[in-house]
Amino acid sequence: MYVNFKGKTAQLYTDTKQLVRRFRASADIVNAQVQGAGDTAVVALTMKNGKTVLYKSDGTLLRR
């Protein structure tokens, strides 16, 4: 899995380039990372204001 980001939006894709989920942050995203695959994947979004949020691949917020 991989994640692309632009502005306040990040998009999570499978290795076959199928869109899994879109995430919207409260500030511009400066870095986005994904760890794991499938249902166990975790997406970390770091924003311009220094905050980082963690989401599961199904959109569940893990940590703000």
Q: What pLDDT digit, counting tens, does each position of 6-57 carry? A: 999 999 999 999 999 999 999 999 999 999 998 899 999 999 999 999 999 9
Question: For the chain, what is the largest distance between any 2 Cα atoms, rounded to a whole number of angstroms?
Answer: 32
> Residue type for 41, please?
A
Nearest to 25, CA basis, from 41, 44, 42, 47: 47
63: Cα separation from own chain's centroid: 12
> Residue type for 18, please?
Q
Contact yes or no for 46/52 (Cβ under 8 A): yes
How far is Cα 26 from Cα 10, in angstroms, rounded to an integer? 12
Domain map (residue ranges) of the chain = 2-59
pTM: 0.90
